[in-house]
Amino acid sequence: MGVIAQVLDPVPSDGSKPVLCSYVNATSRIQVVRITNVANWYFERVVFPGQRLVFEAPGMGQLEVHTGMMASAILSDRIPCHKLAVQEELNGTLELLESGAEETEASESPVASATV
């Protein structure tokens, strides 16, 4: 499983501390994720099946998940960034915070998993 790190498009400075987030594509399809509700900031990434995306975002951001279908993509989920928040442990691994995110099984459905 690969990990994508955010290297471009720094989080806009609006006075609040950005949230470190983790998203895993638990489907068998390519997904495009984007945050569209933050003014003057563009965030969009391609996430391959089984891949983890680690990124910083404003806590009020909403991650839109678009799942690839035959010659198109559908909006399959909207996840508040605070639900994807992670904490760094001293040994460098990432753990999900107790944020109410539910674990789901990887499946063929276009609905993505917000858990590790």
Measured in degrees and rounded to the nearest 5, phi and psi for residue 18 equal: -65, 155
For residues 63 and 21, the answer to whether their CB atoms sit within 8 Å is yes
Owning domain of residue 20: 3-96
Tokens 């068998």 found at: 28
21 is a domain residue: yes
Q: Which position has the higher pLDDT, 40 or 25?
A: 25
- State if pTM tops 0.85: no
Supply the pLDDT for residue 93. Answer: 53
**pLDDT score of 80 more than 80:** yes
Please give the tally of structural domains in the chain. 1
Tell me the average pLDDT across 7-29: 82
Under DSSP, the state recorded for 13 is -
Neighbours of 5 (CB within 10 A): 9
79 is a domain residue: yes
What percentage of the chain carries pLDDT values higher than 90?
42
Report helix, strand or coil for 108: coil
Chain segment 86-105, per-residue pLDDT in tens: 875 544 555 555 444 444 33
